[in-house]
Amino acid sequence: MSAHSSEVKVFVRTRPTACFAQDLIEYLPDKQTVNVRHRRESRKGVVNNQMSSWSFKLDGVMHNMSQEEVYQSVAHSVVLRALEGYNGTIMCFGQTGAGKTYTMTGATESYQQRGIIPRALQEVFYEVEQRVDHTFSVFLSFLEIYNETLVDLLASIKRGRAVQGGALTIVEDPGGGVSVKGLTLHPVHNEEEAFNLLFEGEMNRIIGEHALNKNSSRSHCIFTIHIESRSRTLSDAPYVTSKLNLVDLAGSERLSKTGSEGQVQREALYINRSLSFLEQAIIALTDRRREHVPFRQSKLTHSLKDSLGGNCNTVLVANIYGEAAQIEETLSTLRFATRMKCVRTQPSINEHIDPALQVRRLQKEIQLLKQELSLHDTLANRAVVPNESLSDRQVDEIKSQVQRYLAGTLDEIMIVSIRQIQEMFTQFKKAVQEQEQKVKEQLSQKYSLVEKSENSIQSSTAAAAKEPVGAVGSVGEVESGFGLGLAAPSQKHTQASSPNKSKGKKIKENSRKDVAQTSGPAEGVTVNQRETDALTPNCEPEDLEAPPVDQEEHKKKIDSPPCKFEAFEDFKLGRGSEINRILKENKSVLLERMDQLHKLTQAINSCKRDIDHMSSELQLCREQRQSQGQFVGEKGEPVLEEAELILLVGLREKKDQYRQSYEELLSTKAEVRYCQHLVDQCRIRLLTEFESWYNESFLLPEEVQTIFSEGGPIRPGLIPVDKALNLEADEQEQFQRLRTELLAEGPSAVSFYNAHNRTVQRRQQANSSQS
């Protein structure tokens, strides 16, 4: 389908007259230019003799031209292009009597003077006969628009088929075209049949004129030749259709000039209106900035919508009556013609593809491609690949292959066909989506839990910080110093875990890291992380992959001692499990007490605020009372207002409440301190026992162990572990100091001496039992 922009072609044709206004109208030799001179109208009584002149350049001036010449200049090419599938429109415009009907239809009684319509019909059938490689179907319709009413001038002939039944209405086709619903289309096979219809229509027009007392020059007539052409040789080639509109417009003379009355005036009104709408539509069409063109304002413009601004080859013949008396109408017609010349259309072939034909063509193409494919398979020595869509069973098989491949039980998937590859991608996509969903769920579960525990820790810390009287230990303090000699990279532990769980583990480790970041220095991160988990009942580290207890023995046998971090985890699950459990329990009690303390603090603060508020109100009442004069009782004692009394009573109650809560706060603080003490003790015991166990199990050579077991030297000033566990508060301080001293000797000093002490102690116990 080709489309290029094209201007509307505009010609001027003059009706021959003996009184041609030679001094006013001048045709230049280029046969395209008309110059018009005109004396300006006298307005408001002022006579204006000034002459004005206009020059109109058009596509051709047809002066004293025969009907044949006019046809050749105006219509010939449009008709030929209509046979190729382009729509065409030829319109005659001008005042009544200027020769529009003569140009369009001609004299029906004279063959020589026949107009464009009969000549076009002749040419169409001549071409139909010449173009033997195509079959043509030709239909005719004849529409009259009279006083905004659509009339089918060929309705009297029964042979035609209507474009849908019912009253005549203009409808817009989805492709942008316009058709008249209800208008009959008459098939014609030769020019004679076509002439019959043309004359029948003309006759109906004249009969209507008499019966309704209407004037033929006051109606617009659209004679349309509908052409459909199909290739005889290419059965699956697209077919083309076109419409050739031959339009005889009503007279364009102005109302004032005709002096019409009654019905004639009404007719003239309709004509003027529709022509003025035609002019408006054309002005809008020439203005490229305008998006809307008012085609629907009149039946004429609406029915010509696709002929004026559409995909049509459009030609206008401006008929003028070159007498001096008609000079104003001539000027107005030429102005309209010039405007029309600026309208651009986009002529394009109306190609259609028969859907059934297209299906057949595509089927044939698929068949050919399949053959081509199997030929390639044969040449490449490949098994013939099925091209049909996959069955449910095949899809299931691909799904299972993909799952096995992802699980690692299938090494590779054989590529069989494009369809199989596509299905494989679909299954991979599904697997990824499912995995994403799972991870998302795990993540949201984990994050909400971690945040919760984090919040609870923070709120406890905040509560403790806000306490009004004397700070008690916070969780932060509880954690401090707990990383003693145990900092091991958390990643190492992660690496030690099984690969299958690696993804979930990473997330959990990350979340733990978040907690660690809020809880203290990096040095103690690892242990703090562990302990934070322990503090959070829901975050029990089921994923820490602690080695089972039965591995303890195995570990002892290895030459190099295990990392302390891992050993500590093992210890907590094995030998130290009891003390670890007690530590956890103590911690949870501590947390609970701290929470209680926090709530109490809040309650006291709120109570304090109430007391302050009531006191200030009371003060205000007192001041008011004093300023207004003091009421006194019989004995001279001051009398209080009711509001003041209520405030006083309330204040007293609040103060009582405050005192009570404060006492409670003090006792809870004591409890917190005690719990914290217990937690600290448990922690020390866990650590010291771990150190002893570690040394015993991995570090001390057998002979050293034996020496110690036989009663080696005890470092002076060292307090045995078990004793340390029973120390009172002041002794605890001393113990801590000693431990710090030992640490200064070297990282293994504490462990060493602990082990030593333990051995000594065991010996002592054995001795005492023997004795």
Which residues would be at the binding site for Mg ion (CB under 5 A)? 100-101, 217
Instruction: Output the smallest distance, CB 77 to Mg ion, in A.
Output: 25
- 218 or 512, CB closer to Mg ion? 218
Instruction: Output the smallest distance, CB 210 to ligand ADP, in A.
Output: 17
**Residue 668 binding target from Mg ion, ligand ADP, none, CB below 5 to 8 Å by type:** none
750 phi, psi to nearest 5 deg: -60, -50
Helix, strand or coil for residue 313? strand
- Residue 150 · residue 308 · CB < 8 Å: no
| Half-sphere exposure for 465 (CA within 13 Å, toward CB) | 9
- 247 or 398, CB closer to Mg ion? 247
The one-letter amino acid code at 418 reads I
Nearest C-alpha neighbor of 220 from the set 89, 337, 81, 79: 89
Instruction: Output the smallest distance, CB 57 to Mg ion, in A.
Output: 27
Token readout for 182 is 């209800």
Q: How far apart are CA 381 and CA 355, in angstroms?
A: 39
Instruction: Output the smallest distance, CB 269 to ligand ADP, in A.
Output: 18
- 100 or 587, CB closer to ligand ADP? 100
Q: Which residue has the tokens 């002019």?
A: 279
Q: How far apart are CA 74 and CA 119, in angstroms?
A: 11
Question: 496: Cβ–Cβ under 8 A, 6 or more apart, which residues?
Answer: 545, 566
Question: 47: Cβ–Cβ under 8 A, 6 or more apart, which residues?
Answer: none
Q: Which residue has the tokens 């008012």?
A: 294
- Residue 515 · residue 447 · CB < 8 Å: no
**Residue 99 binding target from ligand ADP, Mg ion, none, CB below 5 to 8 Å by type:** ligand ADP
Q: How far apart are CA 142 and CA 121, in angstroms?
A: 14
**Which residues on adjacent β-strands are paired with residue 632?**
638
**Residue 685 binding target from Mg ion, ligand ADP, none, CB below 5 to 8 Å by type:** none
- 239 or 321, CB closer to ligand ADP? 321
Instruction: Output the smallest distance, CB 21 to ligand ADP, in A.
Output: 16
Q: How far apart are CA 61 and CA 280, in angstroms?
A: 25
- 91 or 138, CB closer to Mg ion? 91
**Residue 15 binding target from Mg ion, ligand ADP, none, CB below 5 to 8 Å by type:** ligand ADP
The one-letter amino acid code at 204 reads N
Token readout for 496 is 């030690």
Going along 100-165, which residue ranges are E strands?
134-146, 149-152, 161-162
- 102 or 571, CB closer to ligand ADP? 102
Instruction: Output the smallest distance, CB 220 to Mg ion, in A.
Output: 10
- 75 or 686, CB closer to ligand ADP? 75
| Half-sphere exposure for 438 (CA within 13 Å, toward CB) | 8
**Residue 690 binding target from ligand ADP, Mg ion, none, CB below 5 to 8 Å by type:** none
Q: How far apart are CA 570 and CA 563, in angstroms?
A: 11
- Residue 397 · residue 424 · CB < 8 Å: no
Instruction: Output the smallest distance, CB 321 to ligand ADP, in A.
Output: 8
Question: 268: Cβ–Cβ under 8 A, 6 or more apart, which residues?
Answer: 218, 255, 258, 260
- 221 or 675, CB closer to ligand ADP? 221
**Residue 102 binding target from Mg ion, ligand ADP, none, CB below 5 to 8 Å by type:** ligand ADP
**Residue 201 binding target from ligand ADP, Mg ion, none, CB below 5 to 8 Å by type:** none
Instruction: Output the smallest distance, CB 264 to ligand ADP, in A.
Output: 15
Token readout for 334 is 């030429």
Count CB-CB contacts under 10 A for residue 459.
13
- 87 or 101, CB closer to ligand ADP? 101
**Residue 73 binding target from ligand ADP, Mg ion, none, CB below 5 to 8 Å by type:** none
- 89 or 216, CB closer to Mg ion? 216
- 100 or 119, CB closer to ligand ADP? 100
Instruction: Output the smallest distance, CB 336 to ligand ADP, in A.
Output: 14
Q: How far apart are CA 730 and CA 707, in angstroms?
A: 34
Instruction: Output the smallest distance, CB 249 to ligand ADP, in A.
Output: 9
Of all residues in the shown chain, the one whose CB is closest to ligand ADP is 99
- 93 or 694, CB closer to ligand ADP? 93
**Residue 97 binding target from Mg ion, ligand ADP, none, CB below 5 to 8 Å by type:** ligand ADP
Q: How far apart are CA 280 and CA 265, in angstroms?
A: 22
Residues at the interface with ligand ADP (CB under 6 A): 15-16, 94, 96-102, 107, 217, 251, 319
Helix, strand or coil for residue 402? helix
Of all residues in the shown chain, the one whose CB is closest to Mg ion is 101
**Residue 251 binding target from ligand ADP, Mg ion, none, CB below 5 to 8 Å by type:** ligand ADP
Instruction: Output the smallest distance, CB 252 to ligand ADP, in A.
Output: 9
Distance of CA 612 to the CA centre of its chain: 57
Instruction: Output the smallest distance, CB 98 to Mg ion, in A.
Output: 9
- 1 or 206, CB closer to Mg ion? 206
Instruction: Output the smallest distance, CB 328 to Mg ion, in A.
Output: 20
Nearest C-alpha neighbor of 341 from the set 5, 4, 8: 8
Q: Is the dihedral of CA 382, 388, 393, 398 positive or negative?
A: positive
Instruction: Output the smallest distance, CB 46 to Mg ion, in A.
Output: 38
Q: Is the dihedral of CA 534, 538, 544, 546 positive or negative?
A: positive
Termini Cα distance of the chain: 119
Runs of H (alpha helix) within 174-214:
191-211
With residue 6 as reference, give the H or E element that holds it: strand 6-7
- 101 or 184, CB closer to Mg ion? 101
**Residue 309 binding target from Mg ion, ligand ADP, none, CB below 5 to 8 Å by type:** none
Q: How far apart are CA 205 and CA 152, in angstroms?
A: 10
